[in-house]
């Protein structure tokens, strides 16, 4: 086990109906780093993330998340990870504060009111705390979802396309917040389709057809593929994947 790695898994695999959705994936993310997880729809990103946070059991593979075994210690991992799903998963008919209080209850936090107050302030939600979640715009729902997955002070954030469907300003604000968290020591694995977001990550992992096709920072991936830019590199990688795995 490497203590400098927040995520260290090898040979991760998951099958559904005889088809490999994730096939022999190796993934290493250093503590305090922002790793962009990229790939087309159906490439295996969400399934991989769910195996890392203990929601799915791998069919094969092994490794650790935050130093905990991803199979034996799945319950303990869940308490130290913040997982933000693609779809808004909080209650539309509860206020911002009520939603955060509910999540704090789930984690059995001893100083629940203080934790909720801190989350409201950290994400700039205090002035809107009585608003119903269902009445919020996409950008404000995104802030609430991030506050909810951080309220128990996790050491690792797993963000599954967190900025899909929000406006450009909300995306920029969100990424500024992610970098502030990483600067404070948080590790982040974030899946995205946006090239400008990919370029803000410390490192990238590109997956297609359940296979990891490239790893490295943006400049390294562009250089390895002989492409003119990051988007061109990913187009080439998808073409190679279609030839090899489709």
pLDDT tens for 80-96 read: 999 999 888 999 999 99
What is the pTM for the complete model shown? Answer: 0.93
| Residue 76 pLDDT greater than 70, yes or no | yes
- Structural domain includes residue 10: no
| CA-closest candidate to residue 26, choices 163, 156, 210 | 210
Q: What is the CATH number of the domain that holds 214?
A: 3.40.50.300
- Structural domain includes residue 12: no
| Residue 3 pLDDT greater than 80, yes or no | no
| Secondary structure (3-state) at 81 | strand
Beta strands in the chain (DSSP E): 5-16, 19-30, 34-38, 60-65, 68-69, 81-84, 156-160, 187-191, 203-208, 211-216
For residue range 175-218, what is the model confidence (pLDDT) as tens digits?
999 999 999 999 999 999 888 899 999 999 999 999 999 999 99
- Structural domain includes residue 3: no
Among 118-122, 160-164, 205-209, where is mean pLDDT lowest? Answer: 160-164
Higher pLDDT, 176 or 245: 176
- Structural domain includes residue 138: yes
- Structural domain includes residue 7: no
Domain that holds residue 152: 31-57+75-245
- Residue 183 burial by Cβ neighbours in a 10 Å radius (0-12, 13-18, 19+): exposed
Q: What percent of the chain has pLDDT over 90?
A: 78
pLDDT band at 29 (very low <50, low <70, confident <90, very high): very high
User: 125: which 2 tokens?
Assistant: 């939600």
Mean pLDDT, rounded, for 44-72: 95
DSSP code of residue 212: E
- Structural domain includes residue 117: yes
| CA-closest candidate to residue 212, choices 19, 14, 44 | 44
Q: How many domains does the structure of the chain reveal?
A: 1
| Residue 233 pLDDT greater than 60, yes or no | yes
| Residue 1 pLDDT greater than 70, yes or no | no
**What is the predicted pLDDT for the residue at 115?**
96
- Structural domain includes residue 192: yes
């Amino acid at each position: 086990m490497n203590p400098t790695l927040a995520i260290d898994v090898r040979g991760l695999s998951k099958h559904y109906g005889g088809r490999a959705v994730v096939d022999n994936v190796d993934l290493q993310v250093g503590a305090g780093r922002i790793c962009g997880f990229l790939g087309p729809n159906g490439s295996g990103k969400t399934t991989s993330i769910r195996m890392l946070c203990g929601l799915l059991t791998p069919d094969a593979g092994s490794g650790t998340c935050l130093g905990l075994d991803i199979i034996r210690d799945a319950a303990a991992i869940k308490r130290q990870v913040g997982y933000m799903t693609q779809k808004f998963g909080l209650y539309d008919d509860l206020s911002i504060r009520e939603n955060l209080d509910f999540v704090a209850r789930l984690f059995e936090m001893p100083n629940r009111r203080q934790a909720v107050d801190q989350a409201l302030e950290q994400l700039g939600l205090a002035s809107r705390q009585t608003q119903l979640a269902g009445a919020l715009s996409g950008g404000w729902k995104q802030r609430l979802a991030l506050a909810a997955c951080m309220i128990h002070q996790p050491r690792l954030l797993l963000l599954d396309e967190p900025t899909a469907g929000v406006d450009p300003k909300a995306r920029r604000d969100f990424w500024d917040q992610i970098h502030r968290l990483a600067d404070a020591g948080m590790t982040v694995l974030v899946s995205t389709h946006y090239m400008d977001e990919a370029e803000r990550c410390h490192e990238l992992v590109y997956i297609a057809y359940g296979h990891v096709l490239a790893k490295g920072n943006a400049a390294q991936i562009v250089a390895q593929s002989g492409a003119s830019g990051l988007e061109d590199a990913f187009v080439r990688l998808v073409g190679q994947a279609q030839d090899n795995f489709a």
